[in-house]
Amino acid sequence: DAKTTQPTSMDCAEGRAANLPCNHSTISGNEYVYWYRQIHSQGPQYIIHGLKNNETNEMASLIITEDRKSSTLILPHATLRDTAVYYCIVRPLTTDSWGKLQFGAGTQVVVTP
């Protein structure tokens, strides 16, 4: 069962903000929203995660709606190196699912000069 829905692809101009949406309408109260990205020929890389509050780190910002049914990953100033597939994943932090991740198809983001 797909827990998240993401657009298949997005284009973004270099230097502009990239806003990546994710729908997770069936999210449970104990599930976190995690974002990863996979640059071509590399392993997935953690970006950010959150439960219900907005989060920011050196890579990106995560905006989660009040009802938690959707979220947006924001890359504030996209660079060519941000071209990658971005995965939105919801997961509980319970003992029977420690560390397990289920990857969907993700969003292919292409940053153009």
Partner 1 sequence: DAGVIQSPRHEVTEMGQEVTLRCKPISGHDYLFWYRQTMMRGLELLIYFNNNVPIDDSGMPEDRFSAKMPNASFSTLKIQPSEPRDSAVYFCASWAPQEPFTQYFGPGTRLTVL
Contact between 99 and partner 1 per CB under 8 A = yes
Rounded to a whole number of angstroms, the distance between the first and last alpha carbons of the chain is: 37
Nearest Cα to Cα of residue 44 among 4, 84, 6, 80: 84
Angle at 8 between CA 36 and CA 42, to 5 degrees: 40
Q: Which of residues 4-63 bind partner 1 (CB under 8 A)?
A: 32, 34, 41-46, 49
Phi, psi of 79, deg, nearest 5 = -120, 170
Range in contact with partner 1 (rule: CB under 8 A) among 2-10, 15-23, 62-70, 92-100: 92-100
Closest separation between CB of residue 106 and partner 1, Å? 8
User: Quick one: 20 or 62, whose CB is closer to partner 1?
Assistant: 62
Closest separation between CB of residue 19 and partner 1, Å? 22
* 31: number of Cβ within 10 Å: 19
Closest separation between CB of residue 49 and partner 1, Å? 6
Q: Which tokens belong to 98? A: 């420690």
Residues of this chain that interact with partner 1 (CB under 8 A) are: 32, 34, 41-46, 49, 93, 98-105
